[in-house]
Amino acid sequence: MADAMGVETGEVLACFRDAALQPIPWRETASAPVHEVVHRDVDLARQLPLPTHNEHDGGPYVTAGLMITRNPRTGAQNVSIHRCQLHGPNRLGVLLLPRHAHMFFEMAEQGGRPLEAAIVIGVDPLTLLASQAIAPIDVDELEIAGALHRRPLSVVKCLTSDLRVPADAEVVIEGRLLPGVRELEGPFGEFPQYYGERGERHVMEVDAIAHRKDAIFHTIVGGGLEHLLLGAIPREATLLAHLQRSFPNVRDVHLSRGGACRYHLHVQIRKRQEGEAKNIMLGAFAGHYDVKHVIVVDEDVDIHDAAAVEWAVATRFQADRDLVVVSESQGSKLDPSTRNGVGAKMGLDATKPLSADEMTFKRIRVPGEEKVDAAALVARSATNWREALKR
Ligand code: MN
């Protein structure tokens, strides 16, 4: 993601936040590569290579599809990713969680009308990431994609609706989310590496499929690093901005891989005041209900290094003094250890006491060790350690 943005890894959150704050309107083109081949006689299973991902998934799925919808009242577009299960030649089961696309669907359904939708597959990494921005309703995430690219995104009008989709995409599935229709969807392998349950879900009827002549079909494997990073970066950017509003001494946050990039938050602070790590934890729990365990560390600890954070807990944390537990609070429904999402929060203050003697928490260091490249000293081909070191 840093490479796609053209920045260093440590600058990704700031770059993403700036783009989300200053979207760039898209530019419409009359024709697009994605319209090279058009199927109006739709047969999803025959025309697209829909994979079945996990052992107990309910069937083949579209997982890397950007669903474009429009607010029926304002006309503003929304972009979001939903898991879509193959239900028939022109039918998909869609999991719509209660966010923007779901609100637009409810507006349409209350009037007894379908909601036009387009599923875009095969976009560049920045457009993919922009789709996951935690932006206000009526902000078109394609404009955040433009800001990440630092130029307007090229879009083209759909063949069967007024929706605008990225012109350079590989595949577009056009159709309508049906009012008053629900069908069983799932189970499906989700980000915590467990199955999301089977249930009555929304249904999309497909009117056309368009794709490039040599289209590449993109899929995302649930719980893999690609899936986790797409969720993590926008959440980290939002949590960092949220915490810094109340605590300007928060320097960085990281949703760790071991916590499924959702449940474990590492927070790095420049400590000024005893006790404030606990206030910061409570702020983090309030920032997103998925945040379950928070570890607060000093600025000398690399929060992207799980071993370094564990070391801080091992040497700067005492459970009777530095632990905060909040019982029976709202968490993630996909965390199987909760009771339908209700569970505990835990915060660990692994910062040094401000009053400690300098030598008590002084990190040991061998002067000049950073100049020694031990790996380069040892010949890779050597099998005898004494021979290897003598060279
Ligand atoms: Mn949105």
Ligand 1 centre distance from Cα of residue 132 (Å)? 8
Ligand 1 centre distance from Cα of residue 279 (Å)? 30
Domain positions in the chain = 2-211, 247-391
Burial grade of 248 (CB within 10 A; 0-12, 13-18, 19 or more) = exposed
Instruction: Give the bridge partners for 189, in sequence order.
Output: 195
249 Ramachandran zone, left/alpha/beta (phi>0; psi -120 to 50) = alpha
Ligand 1 centre distance from Cα of residue 182 (Å)? 23
Instruction: Name the residue among 251, 259, 57, 23 with its Cα closest to residue 145.
Output: 23
Ligand 1 centre distance from Cα of residue 81 (Å)? 10
Ligand 1 centre distance from Cα of residue 97 (Å)? 12
266 vs 304: CA distance, rounded Å? 8
SS (H, E, C) 225-285: HHHHHHHHHHHHHHHHHHHHHHCCCEEEEEECHHHCCCCEEEEEECCCCCCHHHHHHHHHH
pLDDT at position 391 is 62
Ligand 1 centre distance from Cα of residue 80 (Å)? 7
pLDDT at position 383 is 73
Ligand 1 centre distance from Cα of residue 227 (Å)? 18
Ligand 1 centre distance from Cα of residue 36 (Å)? 29
Ligand 1 centre distance from Cα of residue 289 (Å)? 18
pLDDT at position 379 is 63
Contacts 24+ apart (CB under 8 A), 249-254: 249/276, 250/280, 251/299, 252/10, 252/13, 252/303, 253/284, 253/303, 254/303, 254/304
Ligand 1 centre distance from Cα of residue 137 (Å)? 5
Ligand 1 centre distance from Cα of residue 134 (Å)? 7
Instruction: Name the residue among 284, 238, 292 with its Cα closest to residue 262.
Output: 292
pLDDT at position 100 is 96
Ligand 1 centre distance from Cα of residue 170 (Å)? 22
Q: Which fold has domain 2-211?
A: Pnp Oxidase; Chain A (2.30.110)
What are the tokens at 88?
A: 């028939």
Residue-by-residue pLDDT tens, the chain, 391 positions: 999 999 998 899 999 999 999 999 999 999 999 999 999 999 999 999 999 999 999 999 999 999 999 999 999 999 999 999 999 999 999 999 989 999 999 999 999 999 999 999 999 999 999 999 999 999 999 999 999 999 999 999 999 999 999 999 999 999 999 999 999 999 999 999 999 999 999 999 999 999 999 999 999 999 899 999 999 999 999 999 999 999 999 999 999 999 999 999 999 999 999 999 999 999 999 999 999 999 999 999 999 999 999 999 999 999 999 999 999 999 999 999 999 999 999 999 999 999 999 999 999 999 998 898 877 776 666 677 777 777 6
Ligand 1 centre distance from Cα of residue 62 (Å)? 20
Ligand 1 centre distance from Cα of residue 320 (Å)? 42
Ligand 1 centre distance from Cα of residue 79 (Å)? 6
Ligand 1 centre distance from Cα of residue 290 (Å)? 19
Largest CA distance in the chain: 82
52 vs 129: CA distance, rounded Å? 24
CB neighbourhood size of 109 (10 A): 18
Ligand 1 centre distance from Cα of residue 295 (Å)? 30
SS (H, E, C) 156-200: EECCCCCCEEECCCCEEEEEEECCCCCEEECCEECCCCCEECCEE
pLDDT at position 382 is 64
pLDDT at position 389 is 73
Q: Is the peptide bond before 187 cis (omega within 30 degrees of 0)?
A: yes
pLDDT at position 373 is 81
Ligand 1 centre distance from Cα of residue 380 (Å)? 51
Place of tokens 């893999």: 224
Ligand 1 centre distance from Cα of residue 61 (Å)? 22
- Let me know if domain 247-391 sits in CATH 3.40.1670.10: yes
Burial grade of 22 (CB within 10 A; 0-12, 13-18, 19 or more) = exposed
Ligand 1 centre distance from Cα of residue 142 (Å)? 10
Segment holding 116, helix H or strand E: strand 115-121
Q: Are 286 and 368 in contact (CB under 8 A)?
A: no
pLDDT at position 278 is 98
